[in-house]
Chains A and B, each alone.
Chain A
Amino acid sequence: DGGITQSPKYLFRKEGQNVTLSCEQNLNHDAMYWYRQDPGQGLRLIYYSQIVNDFQKGDIAEGYSVSREKKESFPLTVTSAQKNPTAFYLCASSLGAGRAADTQYFGPGTRLTVL
């Protein structure tokens, strides 16, 4: 059953702690993305990766970090430097980021709440 998995579904952390969100895909896609979704603001791009061992900052990368050591995995770390980390985080993948009409496929999301 191909798709994108994100874990955990809900995550609670204390302020000042780093936390890592998991994203795995078995679609054999080259490109992967992390978005943040806030009510009334649509999706905002945090980081994206077009190929293994390479990634670029999106519009709101401050306070976040990523790695892309394997094609199928693109974990996101929310660091203590992120001023307002409570949000819904979505991971997506597509065949290749250099293709304008590529469909992005999304995971179920992780809702992070910082207490």
Chain B
Amino acid sequence: AQSVSQHNHHVILSEAASLELGCNYSYGGTVNLFWYVQYPGQHLQLLLKYFSGDPLVKGIKGFEAEFIKSKFSFNLRKPSVQWSDTAEYFCAVTNGANSNYQLIWGAGTKLIIKP
């Protein structure tokens, strides 16, 4: 079965530090990749997504992610984090093996930014 792995369940950083959250998936065919974010007390919302084309995808609030097909990875990055980036981040994947393009979700990474 397809799966999505997020390596770090909890990450604590200081403001202005650089961020990289790992995401790996198990499916070898064509994939569509997503990062969602859940800020405290807010709805889960889309941060960015990869569908096709340039493997470096830019999202909201200065986030970006790079799709590396050979590594089955879609890591999320931000050069300098802010206290307001404190949230839970989820990686998700859809693929052609699932005829209804259901999202397969990682377990999430809780990010805490110390002011």
Give me the interface of A with B, judged by CB distance under 8 Å: 4, 40-45, 48, 50, 56, 58, 90, 92, 97-109
* B62-70, B72-80, B105-113 - the one binding chain A: B105-113
Contact of B43 among A43, A97, A100, A108 (CB under 8 A): A108
Docked-complex contact A99 and B43, CB < 8 angstroms: no
Complex-state Cα separation, A106 to B36, whole angstroms: 10
Q: List 19 A-B contacts (CB under 8 A).
A: A40-B107, A42-B4, A42-B90, A42-B105, A42-B107, A42-B108, A43-B92, A44-B105, A58-B102, A90-B44, A100-B32, A100-B51, A100-B94, A101-B49, A101-B51, A102-B101, A103-B46, A106-B43, A108-B43
Contact of B105 among A43, A50, A108 (CB under 8 A): A43
Contact of B44 among A50, A97, A102, A106 (CB under 8 A): A106
A44 / chain B contacts, CB cutoff of 8 Å: 105
- Contact size range, B: 20 to 34
Complex-state Cα separation, A4 to B45, whole angstroms: 12
Cβ of A35 to closest chain B Cβ, rounded Å: 8
Q: Is B9 an interface residue (CB 8 A)?
A: yes
B56 / chain A contacts, CB cutoff of 8 Å: none
Docked-complex contact B32 and A101, CB < 8 angstroms: yes
B46 / chain A contacts, CB cutoff of 8 Å: 103-104
Q: Chain B CB within 10 Å — which of A43, A50, A105, A107 has the most?
A: A43
Complex-state Cα separation, A80 to B94, whole angstroms: 32
Q: Please provide the 10 A-B residue pairs with the shortest distance between their CB atoms, ordered closest to farther.
A: A42-B105, A101-B51, A106-B44, A43-B105, A42-B107, A100-B101, A100-B32, A101-B32, A103-B46, A106-B43
